[in-house]
Amino acid sequence: MSAFVEPSFLYSVYHVDVHNRRADAFLHGHHGIIEVSTLVIFEFRQSLRLQSFQLSKGRPVGKTQHEVNTMISAFQSDLAAGRFEIANPDWPRVHAEAETLSAKHTEGTGIRFADILHVATAMTLGAGEFLTFDAGQRALAEAEGLVVPV
């Protein structure tokens, strides 16, 4: 079964946090394709770089530049090794699906733009599983019939 991964799951793969063990256990037990979009890759890297900026400005949350570089490098290595497969979705179809999801769910749930796009991408690709630790994305994915196994 194919799975689609979004940034919160990737974060837990490359950083020790409350979800790290569950993410690792899933990856070690999964034998199908795990797809990632270029949008997810960009959002993952961007969020890490933003955390480095926040730490440099004295905010209590964030990552050092070294931590960011290590996480990005580890992800790149896994991508090159085939742990994740870059998906090539039909972006106009993704956007149409996202519009449908937005009209159906946003006013009742307050779901964010990027979260809708990630779920719409998974649906358009025909992913059987959606990998997230984000509560809003989990609720949307499950409401639309995707399995969220972690």
Query: What torsion do the CA atoms of 18, 21, 23, 24 make, to the nearest 10 degrees?
Result: 150
Query: Which of 8-12, 48-52, 53-57 is predicted least confidently?
Result: 53-57
Give the DSSP H or E segment for 131.
strand 129-131
Instruction: Give the whole-angstrom CA distance, residue 97 versus residue 100.
Output: 5
Q: Which pLDDT belongs to residue 60? A: 76
**pLDDT surpassing 90 at residue 58:** no
Q: In which band, very low, low, confident or very high, does the pLDDT at 149 lie, cut at 50, 70 and 90?
A: very high
Nearest to 123 by CA among 94, 150, 84: 94
137 to each of 12, 61, 69, 134, 141, how far by Cα in Å?
15, 23, 27, 5, 6
Q: Which residues pair with 86 in a beta bridge?
A: 36
**pLDDT surpassing 90 at residue 62:** no
Q: Which pLDDT belongs to residue 31? A: 87
**pLDDT surpassing 90 at residue 23:** yes
Residues of the chain with pLDDT > 70: what percent?
A: 100
**pLDDT surpassing 80 at residue 55:** yes
**Helix 7-14 × helix 20-29 angle, to 10°:** 100
pTM: 0.92
Q: Which pLDDT belongs to residue 109? A: 93
Report, at the CATH architecture level, how domain 3-143 is classified: 3-Layer(aba) Sandwich (3.40)
**pLDDT surpassing 90 at residue 93:** yes
Q: Which pLDDT belongs to residue 77? A: 96
Nearest 5 degrees, angle CA 72-CA 49-CA 36? Answer: 50
Comparing 139 with 17, which gets the higher pLDDT? Answer: 139
